Structure 1
Amino acid sequence: MDSTRSTSRPARRHRRQPRTSSARTLAQLLVAVFVLVQLTCSSTTAYPTRRAATPSTTSHLYAPARKSFGPALTHATYRHALPRRPGTANNVATGALEYLTPVSGAPAGEIAAAFVAATVGVPVDEVVVMASHRSEHTGVSHVYLRQVKGGVEVANADANVNIDRLGRVISYGEAFFRGSVPTAPSLVAVAETAAPLQLHQAGNGAQHASSPTAVDSATSAVKIDPVAGYHALLRHLGMHDAVAQTSAAAFRLDPAMSTTTSTKHKLFRGTIARPAHAESDVVVGMTYLQTSSTSAKLVYEYEVELRDNWYHAHVCAATGAVESLVDWVADAASYEVYPIGVNDPDDGDRVRVKRPELVRASPDGWHSDRTTIGNNVIAQENLSGKADALLKEGELSAAYRPRSGHKLHFHYDIDFAKNPKSYLDASITQLFYMNNMLHDLFYAYGFTENAGNFQADNFGRGGVAGDPVVAFAQDGSGYNNANFATPPDGKNGKMRMYVWNTVVPNRDGDLENGIVIHEFGHGVSNRLTGGPHNSGCLAWGESGGMGEGWGDVWATIFRHRSADRARRDYGPWHMGKYANGGTTGIRKYPYSADMDVNPSTYSFLNHQGYWGVHAKGEVWASILLEVYWNLINDLGWTGDWKSAAVDKGNTLFNQLVVDGLTMQPCRPTFLDARSAILQAEAVLTGGRHACAVWRGFAKRGLGVDAQRIAGKNPWDDDTRIDGFSVPDECRS
């Protein structure tokens, strides 16, 4: 913890207020929940913290171990309808789709909710649509749902349903809770006779004693209040000094709390006034969290924005055990990615680009001012490392940004013999340009307003506005790093880029466009997987590894030139070469289709050193790039990435990857993501290129006979078995 930051902000004082009826109701509801549900939580942290690997020059070990974890839901299901094999009841390569439901003219949300309710066997009023959007190029609607029990959501009971233009379900994923909890009317009925629980409310600082005669059994289970739960989270994070910065009086109940709205099914909502160690108020709620298909716990839910992390956590309301933790910041300490065209100063020269925006993606252009502020991106320096990008809603910080004249010319010199701070204007301009380019490029493939992209104004096209990417150049909080925080739709994505001191003069990561591509890719994959409301679907395990791998894939393919070849094992296909000042990059193997150069296969995930998400990401990227090269060999390559053309290999590949993200379930495995990409191909081209896709997967062990044998704990002791076979139709 930074002691300077913790002591520099004066403590906030709150006026004591009389206890309100809403506070009494909340206290009674909390008692009632524990009386009826009799939920029990472990007295210690649910899952152990794994130690970080020792840094090495032979692999991706600049990043610390990720802290994200949560219950391993073995009942999670993903079912899809791929094309049927001729003469069989199953499918894999060619033919017409086998639909899961008949044609329907009902709205997609109604179809999805009814389908999930019938499939899982729960009442339809337990199924709430959290978000939905439609991919215009395929006509497929993507609906994201969550389960509520008694009006209160089960935070990790997610489902997604994909529906074609005729209203037929073509695939779904779900991890709904099968157990029983009290209904909302039962809670209210008991609450009316229950005595108040000890709880700090409405900023009044006083404790309200509960009656020992009425609720002895309940209070024996209710050990902590929301602030005590937050203290438990801080201790879990190793932030022991921060506990003293948060008093019980800092908690305030949201006066508009409700358990019946369509978007916030919480037992209550409130805030802990911004502690000195945080960047904003801590948001607090209460929900259920399932630990298996039939076991659930009542938990406090926290959203905690720190300088370098942005946590979404669930803490047991009975014991303070941290049951689930997701960091919305995707750390890429060992990653370096690639540009659209020129990757870095060693790869080519700067050029002056005019009117690069895609009009339908950025109808008002890239600038809303004569500086690096626009609808998609706010780019600025952060030499102090404080990350105070937005002081409050609608108000920008005083961070430095270069200003142009009325012609909006951002032309700045660079002298690489000097410290990176000397060319700060050029760095911020580069960061602003690349983030906008990526916004427009991915818009062409379906990462639009409805799908949860990053924009201040959504132009009435759906989604939640007010969340342009805030990109920090030359962030002063560290070196040799980069990260991207992806909170849910409507909250700013935050990119932090660093100076690299591994070579003298130091090098600026802002000028290595591949790093920017990789980091922006976290925003894309996190918003599209599980829906824009849910940023916790790619937090750990195989799903977390694929989050890193997609970033590497985009970094690699967007710098591809027509003369490049798959077997090239040097130069552009090394990751992290420029910023790190090395000769071979920061990955264990370069990305090459030559198995002698890069031998990675699916079963490498079993190897020592492949527990972390970055190592898993290398394997996933190596597999996907085989699919990429197969499609280019069949269809050729175009330099017009924004065309999203389905008749060129590179653009078709990117469309299938993006569509696969929208179709796969929350927390997918490698096998799930493979199936989602195959289904995306079937929907888009009718299976014409399915064999090329299958051969790419199979080359590196993810063929039809690949297997994953689940382990017994959430720390990934699964066993993967390579499968190199393709469907019979693809063996000719």
Structure 2
Amino acid sequence: MKHTFTHYGRVLTLASLLALPGLSQAQQPAPSSLTRGLEYLNARRVKLGLSEADLRNPAVASEYTDADNGVTHLYLRQRVQGVEVYGAVIEVHFDRGGKVVQSHNSFVPNAAAVANAATPGLSPVQAVAAAARALNMPAPQGLRLEKEGSAAEGMTFSTGGISLEKIPVQLMYSLRPDGRLALVWNVTLYPLDAQHYWDARIDASTGALLDRTDFVVSEEASFAALVRRRQGQALPSAAQRPAAAASTPATAGRTNVPNSYNVWPLTVESPNHGARQLVTDPANATASPYGWHDTNGVTGAEYTITRGNNTHAYEDRRKLNTVTSNTYTAGFTPDGTAQLSFDFPYTPTSSANSNEAAAVTNLFYWNNIMHDVTERHGFTEAARNFQLRNYSGVGLGNDFVQAEAQDGGGLNNANFSAPREGNQPRMQMYLWETAQQSLTFALPGGVTLGPFTFAQAAFGRRLAMVSPLNGPVVYAGPGCTTPLPNAAALSGKIALMKRGGCNFTAKVKAAEAAGARLVIVMDSIPNTTQLVSMSGAAPDSNGIRIPAVFITRADGQQLLQSLAAGTVSASASVLDRDGDLDNGIIAHEYGHGITNRLTGTGAGCLTNLEQMGEGWSDFFALWMTTKPTDVGTTPRGIGTYASSEPVTGGGIRTKPYSTDMTVNTLTYANLGVSPYTAVHANGEIWCSALWDLNWALINRYGYNADLYGSTGGNNIALKLVIDGCKYQGCNPGFLSGRNGILKADSINNGAANAALIWQVFARRGMGASAVQGSTNNISDQTAAYDLPAGVLASKAAKAAETLAVYPNPAQDRVTVRQYAASQRPVQLELVNNLGQVVQRQTAPAAQLQGAGVELSTAALPAGIYVVRLTGSAGTTSQKLVVRH
């Protein structure tokens, strides 16, 4: 992350900062903050294990002040021989009075002794070429220096025809596993397919790839988890899939209401969850003071399409992805005219292509809503949010979100790239496969053949984009010559071809050249029902622009026989789900940008194994789609619309989210235990704790339907989660994140919620005695369920807050947990409303703090009881309702 007052420019040292009185305070770290930061660190140098030289002349990586609470966040990057050390950062956070409230250190001790000489063997141009080779990218062509700078300061090259963005290159040191600091060129490359955004460390002598960071976060593993959870079952059939909500009709015509958007609005997760509504003037006056279509900070819209200061949403079915100096080669963008009326038809049973205006409008609306809501809760211009123009003058700007709808780069997925401040993020939303597909044929005499099962090709256009597709069928044989023998007969028709003789892509390309609209390839191998997923590279650079499907030999033979008897017309359709209508997924993707920008220096600080990016993003998805009537115990799935599940489905995670621990049992102890061994599943554990926190605060302060407000437990929770990211340090683990939230509550609320926060995290195994271990290891943690002694002793920690009884009300059984420690076994008693003990047992204190103790209530009469625990710390109790 470069500093907030230059863009890939000079690194300012303490001496140079003090010598530049003309720089405004908004453009530079306040000298008093930097001076106090260095004084604070030097006073603790021995405790930090650093030498005087280690703290000499650091670079200011970033600095900003939160206007609401006055906290200044200062980030210093270590330098050796004038060269920055990648990932070696010290954070110092000061309150309004200049007191240090938090600090994190990842400087390399005695760095000068383990560093190579600062003389590179490769030139910057050679480093770019070496990075491209190592990352399996084409060799750069016509590379030009766009922005000069010394090797240590960094420079910027043109795209070289291989990168979506200009290529920054900077000489740096990289800490290797053996403790050595290797001299590297840090090269940032954004491949043209936008599937990765590489920040690569290239050995400055050999050109070898030593390390890389990917700024793109993808959800593909989530869909794979869904498939595993369904245990190989097919996607739901048309009969099994839920219909769109009854209150979501197609829009008959445009209403022309000024500044309006027909969308599934804030808190409505998808077409399955509620009605599409015409929303007027939705921009928040503080977060987007000139509206969503402004770019110059003067009243009046610069764009009448879905583009503005915070985001540009557009269709990208052809995977264009190309951006040069904010000039896009983008697909369709709906135009709201001078009225800014974005009211377009939507028909649930039509193709994604026919609904593209409605989909892009919804994507634009939700990106702006995410911007405005989170800006009011701490993701501000100063804190590196996503805007073209930063109206306050703080921060770099030039980094609004490129939101790509119906992206042709994949399926069953979505991703978000969050590069350094001043570089544009990109959100790619894909289509999601369903089993709702049909291929039938009309024969002479009103006879229908089919439906046939088929497999879509991995190349060409998705059939869902042009469904329904109807037309006469023409047999074109193997189709391995260009032009085809009967090319004239194929124009505007559907081509039937036989497998064999040449590649699938060659067949389809030949049919496309003849004007065919769809290709049906029949298998030529007898006695098989296996459908082939046709793949391969297009025979030329223009690609393949029509859809193709594969059918069995038996079905193909039926079709050939019918063609021999007369004219046959085909009707083909696929109804994919459009991720642009799953607002939980949109919020989730945007959330990756929030947490990447807020953690540490703002880029590359969530690359460790125990990082919680997926958990934060799920929390944002849940939070943004919570209604005032919701309750925390209700199971919530992520991505149920995209994955063709009902609103009560489990979604794309291993478990639904719920405060009911009989529904969601996840704790810190699950981390590293299959299937919780990768980022998506690990994130579920973290989100489970955040979701508990949200509802615990709602239970205390109520729910505020004004999601831009500061009151209400839901708004307090979001603010704590966002601000907590600022205090947790680079490459945090779960306990770092917990501590960041506690620190945020201390600063924002005077620690008013400390006991509640501890209770929530202790419940999920992140209690006072929990041990994090290395944040780059997900198997060395120790879960614990206890509360700190100070919390237990405080008046804020009521007896009931040390005791968890769930579910409550209970039916057949209830689980009891206690967070207070006991030096002896604990006696559990269940007491009826007459004061009679109806159950009694003794359990080890460790069991109560861990998995808990289960009590049977099946034989008890319905009514009100008291769960009473007695241990060395005293007696605690809680009311229990039993219902049958």
TM-score range, shorter chain: 0.7 to 0.9
1:403 is paired with a residue whose SS is coil
8 Å Cα contact 1:485/1:493 also seen in 2:
yes
Q: 1:116 aligns with which of 38, 41, 44?
A: 41
CA distance, structure 1, for counterparts of residue 751 and residue 85 of structure 2: 37
Measured in 2, the distance between the counterparts of 1:144 and 1:469 equals 25
Distance 1:131 1:199 in 2: 29
* Deviation sequence 1:61-111 (CA, Å, 0-9, x none): xxxxxxxxxxxxxxxxxxxxxxxxxxxxxxxxxxxxxxxxxxxx9632332
Preserved contact between residue 361 and residue 444 of structure 1 (Cα < 8 Å): yes
Structure 1 residue 483: deviation in Å? 0.5
In the TM superposition, 1:26-65 aligns within 5 A as none
Structure having the larger proportion of residues in helix: 1
Is structure 2 residue 651 aligned with structure 1 residue 719? no
| 1:331-350 per-position Cα deviation (integer Å, ceiling 9, x unaligned) | 123559x9731100010001
The correspondence for 1:369, drawn from 270, 282, 303, is 303
Partner residue in 2 for 1:216: none
Structure 1 pair 705–417 and aligned structure 2 pair: CA distance change class (3 A): same
Cα–Cα, structure 1 residues 199 and 288, in superposed 2: closer, same or farther, change >3 Å? closer
Match of 1:177 in 2: 108
Letter in 1 for 2:320: K
The residue correspondences of 1:80-479 to structure 2 (distance < 5 A) are: 107-118=32-43, 119=45, 120-123=50-53, 125-181=56-112, 225-227=126-128, 229-234=130-135, 239=136, 242=137, 245-246=139-140, 256-258=148-150, 265-266=152-153, 269=155, 271=157, 274-275=160-161, 277-291=162-176, 295-306=180-191, 307=193, 308-333=195-220, 340-367=266-293, 368-388=302-322, 390=323, 392-479=324-411
For the 8 Å contact 2:320–2:330, the answer to whether it is kept is no
Q: Distance in 1 between matches of 2:60 and 2:398?
A: 22
Counterpart of 1:47 in structure 2 is none
Question: CA separation of 1:371/1:296 partners in 2, compared to 1, >3 Å: closer, same or farther?
Answer: same
Paired residue for 2:749, among 682, 685, 704? 685
State the TM-score, normalized to the length of structure 1: 0.73
**Which is strand-richer, 1 or 2?**
2
Structure of higher CA gyration radius:
2
Which segments of 5 or more consecutive residues in structure 2 lack a partner in the other structure? 1-29, 224-263, 294-301, 437-574, 800-884
State which drifts further: 160-169 or 111-120.
Answer: 111-120
The answer to whether the 8 A contact 1:626-1:699 is kept is no
Separation in structure 1 between the aligned mates of residue 639 and residue 110 of structure 2, nearest angstrom: 48
Q: Is the 8 A contact 1:550 1:621 kept in 2?
A: yes
Distance 1:651 1:201, change over 3 A: closer
Unaligned regions of 5+ residues in structure 1, if any? 1-104, 192-196, 203-224, 260-264
Q: What are the superposed Cα offsets for residues 483-539 of structure 1, whole Å, 9 maximum, x if unpaired?
A: 10001111111000011113422111001111110000011100010133xx10112
SS of the residue 1:628 aligns to: helix
Give the SS at the match of 2:669: helix
**Could you tell me which amino acid in structure 2 is paired with residue 558 of structure 1?**
M
- Within the candidate set 562, 576, 581, 2:639 is matched to 576
Query: What is aligned with 1:13?
Result: none
Q: Which amino acid in structure 2 is aligned with residue 226 of structure 1? A: A
Residue 576 of structure 2, aligned match among 481, 487, 506: 506
- Judged with a 3 Å threshold, the aligned counterparts in structure 2 of structure 1 residues 151 and 311 are, in CA distance, closer, same or farther, namely same
**Matching residue's letter, 2:704:** T
- The correspondence for 1:550, drawn from 595, 610, 616, is 616
Question: In structure 1, how many angstroms separate the alpha carbons of the residues matched to 2:67 and 2:123?
Answer: 49
Q: 1:351, 1:297 → 2: CA distance? A: 57
Q: Which amino acid aligns with 1:150?
A: Q
Q: Residue 364 of structure 1: CA displacement?
A: 1.3
In structure 2, the CA distance between the partners of 1:618 and 1:199, relative to structure 1 (3 Å rule), is closer
Q: Is the 8 A contact 1:116 1:127 kept in 2?
A: no
Residues 59 and 77 of structure 2 are in contact (CA less than 8 Å); yes or no, is this contact kept in structure 1?
Answer: yes
Structure 1 counterpart SS, 2:303: coil
Q: CA deviation digits over 1:258-285, x for unaligned, max 9? A: 25xxxxx44x53537524x433444333
- What is the CA–CA distance in structure 2 between the aligned matches of 1:408 and 1:672, rounded to whole Å? 45
Query: Separation in 1 of the partners of 2:672 and 2:326?
Result: 48
Q: Pick closer, same or farther for the CA change 1:501–1:450 going to 2, 3 Å.
A: same
Distance 2:41 2:280 in 1: 49
Inter-CA distance 231–515: structure 2 relative to 1 (3 Å threshold): closer
Instruction: Confirm or deny: 8 A CA contact 1:480 1:502 kept in the other structure.
Output: no
Query: Per-residue deviation at 1:554?
Result: 1.1
Aligned with 2:596 (options 507, 516, 526): 526
Sort the Cα spacing of 1:710 and 1:402 in 2 relative to 1 into closer, same or farther, 3 A: closer
Distance in 2 between residues matched to 1:334 and 1:696, nearest whole Å? 28
Bigger drift between 165-174 and 118-127 goes to 118-127
| Corresponding letter in the other structure for 1:157 | A
Secondary structure of the residue aligned to 1:487 is: coil
Matched-pair contact (CA < 8 Å) for 2:317–2:331: no
Partners of 1:386 and 1:489 lie apart in 2 by 23
Amino acid at match of 1:373: R
Choose 467-476 or 308-317, whichever is displaced more. 308-317
- TM-score normalized by the length of structure 2: 0.61
CA contact (8 A) 2:265 2:277 kept: no
1:642 matched to which residue of 2? 708
The answer as to whether partners of 2:389 and 2:397 remain within 8 angstroms in 1 is yes
| 1:227 shift after superposition | 4.8
Q: Could you tell me how far 1:717 is from its partner in structure 2?
A: 5.3
Change (3 A) 1:603 1:321: farther
* Equivalences, count: 568
> Deviation at 1:548?
0.7
